[in-house]
């Protein structure tokens, strides 16, 4: 009878409930619980299993560049990171209210990690997300424009709750890239959230776009209802010494 029950639970894809039932059968103290209490435990286990599975699927589809979480953010490094702001963003109300985030700072100061951590938290809160480095993102748009799938790609991006474009502005935007970016942001303005990171401060973004008219339209959609995180300071990446370093320098590095 037990084997039949587990087989039926498996076929109905109630794997969380099956695991919880197996644990109940192995724990002697479970016999002291009422039927309603044991059933509640099984239902809670199945609910948690489904939530964890859905979150894992959202994280996989987000294609984050690196594992990251807001709980592991380094506040000790002097980079002008506003702890109160990041704590408020952890609630994901900015996603619910369709706000944007701009994240700026020099190379190596942790922009990509914070970006991925924000997306990871959004996925855990039940939102969909998608991360793309700027160069790859614009290549995807260009390929879609060339092969006739541009509208489908726009529709797909428009459905994502949080879109992150990382490290944009390193090279000047071409005219097609400017127009493609505007179309993406137009679909998301006021209804979805976008995260943009750059080594350049926000006041210089108008020049990075290149076309004054398109720059006005693009920045209006980015900076409306946005939260700004401006980082400063030295790189967090370890600096490797050259082979000519002295033993004293190596000991200092290890210390």
108 and 189 part of one domain:
yes
87 and 105 part of one domain:
yes
H or E element: which one contains 198? strand 193-198
Q: Residue 254: inside a domain, yes or no? A: no
Q: Residue 253: inside a domain, yes or no? A: no
27 and 108 part of one domain:
no
Report the pLDDT value the prediction gives residue 34, as an integer from 0 to 100: 81
Parent domain of 131: 63-230
26 and 97 part of one domain:
no
Report the pLDDT value the prediction gives residue 237, as an integer from 0 to 100: 66
Q: Residue 237: inside a domain, yes or no? A: no
148 and 45 part of one domain:
no
CA atoms within 13 A on the CB side of 22: 12
Report the pLDDT value the prediction gives residue 52, as an integer from 0 to 100: 76
96 and 155 part of one domain:
yes
The C-alpha atoms of residue 165 and residue 63 are separated, in whole angstroms, by 12
- Report how many domains make up the chain: 2
The C-alpha atoms of residue 17 and residue 24 are separated, in whole angstroms, by 10
H or E element: which one contains 154? helix 150-159
CATH of the domain at 131: 3.40.50.300
H or E element: which one contains 249? helix 247-254
54 and 74 part of one domain:
no
Instruction: Estimate the share of the chain in helix, then strand, then coil, as percent rounded to the nearest 5.
Output: 60, 10, 30
pLDDT tens string, the chain, 255 residues long: the values are 677 777 877 887 777 777 877 777 788 777 777 878 778 887 887 777 777 788 889 999 999 999 999 998 888 878 888 889 999 999 999 999 999 999 999 988 889 999 999 999 999 999 999 999 999 999 999 999 999 999 999 999 999 999 999 999 888 889 999 999 999 999 999 999 999 999 999 999 998 888 889 999 999 999 988 999 999 877 766 655 444 444 433 332 332
Q: What's the pTM value of the predicted model, to 2 decimals?
A: 0.76
52 and 173 part of one domain:
no
148 and 54 part of one domain:
no
């Amino acid at each position: 009878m037990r084997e039949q029950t587990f087989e039926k639970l498996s076929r109905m894809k109630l794997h969380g409930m099956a695991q919880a039932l197996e644990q109940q059968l192995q724990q002697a103290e479970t016999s002291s619980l009422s039927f309603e209490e044991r059933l509640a435990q099984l239902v809670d286990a199945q609910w948690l299993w489904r939530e964890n599975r859905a979150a894992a699927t959202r994280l996989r589809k987000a294609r984050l560049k690196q594992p990251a979480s807001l709980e592991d953010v380094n506040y000790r490094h002097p980079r002008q990171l506003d702890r109160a702001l990041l704590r408020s963003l952890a609630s994901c109300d900015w996603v619910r209210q369709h706000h944007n985030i701009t994240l700026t700072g020099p190379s190596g100061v942790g922009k990509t990690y914070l970006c991925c951590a924000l997306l990871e938290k959004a996925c855990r809160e039940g939102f969909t997300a998608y991360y793309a480095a700027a160069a790859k993102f614009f290549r995807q748009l260009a390929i879609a424009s060339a092969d006739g799938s541009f509208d489908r790609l726009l529709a797909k991006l428009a459905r994502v709750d949080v879109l992150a474009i990382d490290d944009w502005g390193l090279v000047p935007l071409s005219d097609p890239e400017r127009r493609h970016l505007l179309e993406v942001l137009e679909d998301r303005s006021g209804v979805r959230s976008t995260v943009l990171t750059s080594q350049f401060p926000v006041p210089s973004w108008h020049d990075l776009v290149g076309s004054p008219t398109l720059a006005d339209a693009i920045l209006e959609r980015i900076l409306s209802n946005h939260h700004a995180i401006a980082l400063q300071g030295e790189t967090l990446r370890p600096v490797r010494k050259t082979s000519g370093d002295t033993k004293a320098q190596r000991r200092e590095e290890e210390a």
